[in-house]
Amino acid sequence: MFTGIVEEKGIVVKKTKINEGYKFRVRSKVVGKTLAKSDSVCINGVCHTVTTRSKTEFDFVSMHETLKKTNIGELNQGDEVNLEGSLTMQKKLGGHFVFGHVDDTGVVTEVKQIKAEKKKDSDNWEYRIKMHKKHAKFVIYVGSIAVDGVSLTVAEVTKPKGNYFDMKVAIIPYTYNNTVFGRYKVGDRVNIEFDFLGKYVLNLLESNPKIKKMLK
Protein backbone atom coordinates (compact mmCIF):
# COMPACT_ATOMS: atom_id res chain seq x y z
CA MET A 1 0.00 0.00 0.00
CA PHE A 2 1.14 3.55 -0.80
CA THR A 3 0.02 7.14 -0.28
CA GLY A 4 0.36 8.71 -3.71
CA ILE A 5 3.04 11.10 -2.45
CA VAL A 6 6.00 10.63 -4.79
CA GLU A 7 9.30 10.53 -2.91
CA GLU A 8 11.67 10.76 -5.83
CA LYS A 9 12.12 10.66 -9.57
CA GLY A 10 14.20 7.62 -10.48
CA ILE A 11 15.88 6.97 -13.82
CA VAL A 12 15.59 3.82 -15.91
CA VAL A 13 19.16 2.74 -16.63
CA LYS A 14 18.45 -0.64 -18.22
CA LYS A 15 15.57 -2.46 -19.92
CA THR A 16 15.85 -6.14 -20.82
CA LYS A 17 13.33 -8.31 -22.68
CA ILE A 18 12.69 -11.60 -20.83
CA ASN A 19 10.15 -14.42 -21.18
CA GLU A 20 7.96 -12.98 -18.42
CA GLY A 21 7.93 -9.47 -19.90
CA TYR A 22 10.61 -6.85 -19.16
CA LYS A 23 13.26 -6.52 -16.50
CA PHE A 24 14.11 -2.95 -15.54
CA ARG A 25 16.92 -1.41 -13.56
CA VAL A 26 16.27 1.95 -11.90
CA ARG A 27 18.75 4.35 -10.36
CA SER A 28 17.45 5.82 -7.09
CA LYS A 29 19.24 7.98 -4.54
CA VAL A 30 16.43 8.20 -1.97
CA VAL A 31 13.86 5.41 -2.20
CA GLY A 32 16.45 2.80 -3.17
CA LYS A 33 18.27 3.23 0.15
CA THR A 34 15.26 1.92 2.05
CA LEU A 35 14.54 -1.04 -0.22
CA ALA A 36 15.47 -4.67 0.27
CA LYS A 37 15.02 -7.68 -1.98
CA SER A 38 11.31 -8.69 -2.19
CA ASP A 39 10.10 -5.25 -1.01
CA SER A 40 7.25 -3.55 -2.83
CA VAL A 41 7.90 -0.28 -4.64
CA CYS A 42 5.55 1.92 -6.63
CA ILE A 43 6.79 2.70 -10.16
CA ASN A 44 4.61 5.28 -11.93
CA GLY A 45 1.71 4.12 -9.80
CA VAL A 46 2.28 0.40 -10.38
CA CYS A 47 3.27 -1.89 -7.51
CA HIS A 48 6.33 -4.01 -8.30
CA THR A 49 8.62 -6.31 -6.32
CA VAL A 50 12.31 -5.54 -5.95
CA THR A 51 14.29 -8.52 -7.30
CA THR A 52 17.84 -7.24 -6.67
CA ARG A 53 19.39 -4.03 -5.40
CA SER A 54 22.69 -2.25 -4.94
CA LYS A 55 23.55 0.99 -3.16
CA THR A 56 22.15 3.18 -5.93
CA GLU A 57 20.08 0.88 -8.17
CA PHE A 58 17.39 -1.79 -7.99
CA ASP A 59 15.75 -4.20 -10.43
CA PHE A 60 12.13 -5.18 -10.94
CA VAL A 61 10.24 -7.34 -13.41
CA SER A 62 7.05 -6.22 -15.12
CA MET A 63 5.02 -9.13 -16.42
CA HIS A 64 2.84 -9.33 -19.52
CA GLU A 65 -0.45 -8.74 -17.68
CA THR A 66 0.94 -5.58 -16.10
CA LEU A 67 2.36 -4.42 -19.41
CA LYS A 68 -1.06 -4.76 -21.05
CA LYS A 69 -2.81 -2.62 -18.43
CA THR A 70 -0.19 0.08 -17.82
CA ASN A 71 2.37 2.30 -19.55
CA ILE A 72 5.35 0.51 -17.95
CA GLY A 73 6.25 -1.26 -21.19
CA GLU A 74 6.72 2.12 -22.88
CA LEU A 75 9.58 3.04 -20.55
CA ASN A 76 13.05 3.14 -22.04
CA GLN A 77 16.58 3.76 -20.84
CA GLY A 78 16.95 7.33 -19.63
CA ASP A 79 13.26 7.83 -18.79
CA GLU A 80 12.30 9.24 -15.41
CA VAL A 81 9.78 7.42 -13.21
CA ASN A 82 7.81 8.33 -10.09
CA LEU A 83 8.99 6.32 -7.07
CA GLU A 84 7.36 5.68 -3.71
CA GLY A 85 8.22 3.11 -1.07
CA SER A 86 5.54 1.16 0.80
CA LEU A 87 3.45 2.82 3.49
CA THR A 88 4.70 2.18 7.04
CA MET A 89 3.24 2.96 10.46
CA GLN A 90 5.76 5.81 10.76
CA LYS A 91 4.90 7.37 7.40
CA LYS A 92 2.51 10.29 7.06
CA LEU A 93 -0.57 9.67 4.94
CA GLY A 94 -0.40 12.87 2.96
CA GLY A 95 -2.39 11.71 -0.05
CA HIS A 96 -4.88 8.84 -0.08
CA PHE A 97 -4.65 5.05 0.03
CA VAL A 98 -3.07 3.86 -3.21
CA PHE A 99 -2.57 0.14 -3.85
CA GLY A 100 -0.52 0.26 -7.02
CA HIS A 101 -3.15 -1.82 -8.82
CA VAL A 102 -3.75 0.24 -11.95
CA ASP A 103 -7.30 0.14 -13.33
CA ASP A 104 -6.52 1.43 -16.81
CA THR A 105 -4.57 4.06 -18.69
CA GLY A 106 -5.76 7.49 -19.76
CA VAL A 107 -4.44 9.83 -22.46
CA VAL A 108 -3.29 13.40 -21.85
CA THR A 109 -5.36 15.69 -24.09
CA GLU A 110 -4.26 19.10 -22.78
CA VAL A 111 -1.39 20.61 -20.79
CA LYS A 112 -1.99 24.19 -19.69
CA GLN A 113 0.12 26.48 -17.54
CA ILE A 114 -1.86 28.85 -15.34
CA LYS A 115 0.10 32.02 -14.74
CA ALA A 116 -0.14 33.56 -11.27
CA GLU A 117 -2.03 36.83 -11.05
CA LYS A 118 0.30 38.12 -8.34
CA LYS A 119 4.09 37.95 -8.29
CA LYS A 120 4.14 36.36 -4.84
CA ASP A 121 1.90 33.53 -6.04
CA SER A 122 3.19 30.56 -8.03
CA ASP A 123 2.27 29.32 -11.48
CA ASN A 124 0.25 26.12 -11.64
CA TRP A 125 -0.51 23.56 -14.32
CA GLU A 126 -3.73 21.95 -15.47
CA TYR A 127 -4.01 18.64 -17.30
CA ARG A 128 -6.93 17.06 -19.09
CA ILE A 129 -6.94 13.30 -19.31
CA LYS A 130 -9.24 11.22 -21.52
CA MET A 131 -10.57 7.86 -20.34
CA HIS A 132 -13.11 5.31 -21.51
CA LYS A 133 -16.67 6.08 -20.46
CA LYS A 134 -16.95 2.74 -18.60
CA HIS A 135 -14.83 4.36 -15.86
CA ALA A 136 -16.93 7.53 -15.52
CA LYS A 137 -18.74 6.21 -12.45
CA PHE A 138 -15.45 6.02 -10.55
CA VAL A 139 -14.43 9.64 -11.18
CA ILE A 140 -16.19 12.29 -9.10
CA TYR A 141 -15.66 16.00 -8.73
CA VAL A 142 -13.18 16.78 -5.88
CA GLY A 143 -12.68 13.04 -5.38
CA SER A 144 -9.27 11.36 -5.13
CA ILE A 145 -7.47 9.71 -8.04
CA ALA A 146 -3.93 8.49 -8.66
CA VAL A 147 -2.23 9.42 -11.94
CA ASP A 148 1.10 7.67 -12.48
CA GLY A 149 1.19 7.16 -8.73
CA VAL A 150 0.51 10.79 -7.82
CA SER A 151 -2.42 11.41 -5.45
CA LEU A 152 -4.57 14.16 -6.97
CA THR A 153 -7.98 15.76 -6.59
CA VAL A 154 -10.34 15.72 -9.56
CA ALA A 155 -10.94 19.37 -10.49
CA GLU A 156 -13.50 18.79 -13.25
CA VAL A 157 -15.31 15.96 -15.01
CA THR A 158 -16.97 16.25 -18.40
CA LYS A 159 -19.91 14.24 -19.66
CA PRO A 160 -18.97 11.34 -21.97
CA LYS A 161 -18.81 12.08 -25.68
CA GLY A 162 -18.91 8.91 -27.69
CA ASN A 163 -16.85 6.31 -25.82
CA TYR A 164 -14.75 8.73 -23.79
CA PHE A 165 -14.87 11.47 -21.17
CA ASP A 166 -12.32 13.94 -19.82
CA MET A 167 -11.25 14.86 -16.32
CA LYS A 168 -9.11 17.79 -15.23
CA VAL A 169 -6.46 17.79 -12.50
CA ALA A 170 -4.27 20.66 -11.33
CA ILE A 171 -0.81 20.58 -9.80
CA ILE A 172 1.53 23.03 -8.08
CA PRO A 173 5.12 23.80 -9.17
CA TYR A 174 6.59 21.41 -6.60
CA THR A 175 4.67 18.47 -8.09
CA TYR A 176 5.54 19.64 -11.60
CA ASN A 177 9.25 19.69 -10.81
CA ASN A 178 9.44 16.58 -8.62
CA THR A 179 7.33 14.10 -10.59
CA VAL A 180 7.09 13.01 -14.20
CA PHE A 181 4.20 15.46 -14.71
CA GLY A 182 6.86 17.93 -15.86
CA ARG A 183 7.51 15.93 -19.04
CA TYR A 184 3.90 15.17 -20.04
CA LYS A 185 2.78 16.15 -23.51
CA VAL A 186 -0.47 15.68 -25.38
CA GLY A 187 -0.91 12.06 -26.41
CA ASP A 188 1.05 10.53 -23.51
CA ARG A 189 -0.51 7.53 -21.76
CA VAL A 190 -0.75 7.67 -17.97
CA ASN A 191 -1.60 5.03 -15.38
CA ILE A 192 -4.89 5.56 -13.57
CA GLU A 193 -5.98 4.07 -10.25
CA PHE A 194 -9.39 5.04 -8.92
CA ASP A 195 -10.06 5.55 -5.23
CA PHE A 196 -10.48 2.02 -3.84
CA LEU A 197 -12.96 3.17 -1.16
CA GLY A 198 -15.25 4.49 -3.88
CA LYS A 199 -14.91 1.27 -5.87
CA TYR A 200 -15.85 -0.89 -2.88
CA VAL A 201 -18.82 1.29 -1.96
CA LEU A 202 -20.09 1.27 -5.53
CA ASN A 203 -19.64 -2.50 -5.76
CA LEU A 204 -21.59 -2.94 -2.54
CA LEU A 205 -24.42 -0.72 -3.74
CA GLU A 206 -24.61 -2.37 -7.15
CA SER A 207 -24.84 -5.81 -5.52
CA ASN A 208 -28.22 -4.75 -4.14
CA PRO A 209 -30.80 -5.19 -6.97
CA LYS A 210 -33.01 -2.33 -5.74
CA ILE A 211 -30.13 0.13 -5.47
CA LYS A 212 -28.62 -1.03 -8.75
CA LYS A 213 -31.89 -0.24 -10.50
CA MET A 214 -31.86 3.27 -8.99
CA LEU A 215 -28.28 3.89 -10.14
CA LYS A 216 -29.07 3.15 -13.77
**Ordered structural domains, the chain, with CATH:** 8-85 (2.40.30.20), 104-206 (2.40.30.20)
pLDDT in tens, 90-145: 777 778 889 999 999 999 999 999 887 776 666 899 999 999 999 999 999 999 99
pTM above 0.85, yes or no: yes
**What pLDDT is attached to residue 81?**
98
Dihedral Cα 38, 41, 47, 50, nearest 10 deg: -30
**What pLDDT is attached to residue 88?**
77
- Cβ 167 vs Cβ 154: under 8 Å: yes
DSSP helix/strand/coil, 70:
coil
**What pLDDT is attached to residue 123?**
80
Cα–Cα distance, 114 to 158 (Å, whole number): 20
**What pLDDT is attached to residue 175?**
95
Using H for helix, E for strand and C for coil, what is the string for 190-211? Answer: EEEEECHHHHHHHHHHHCCHHH
**What pLDDT is attached to residue 116?**
75
Q: Which residues of the chain have pLDDT under 70?
A: 119-122, 210-216
Cα–Cα distance, 112 to 198 (Å, whole number): 29
Contacts of 165 (CB under 8 A, 6+ apart): 130, 131, 133, 136, 139, 157, 158, 159
**What pLDDT is attached to residue 114?**
87
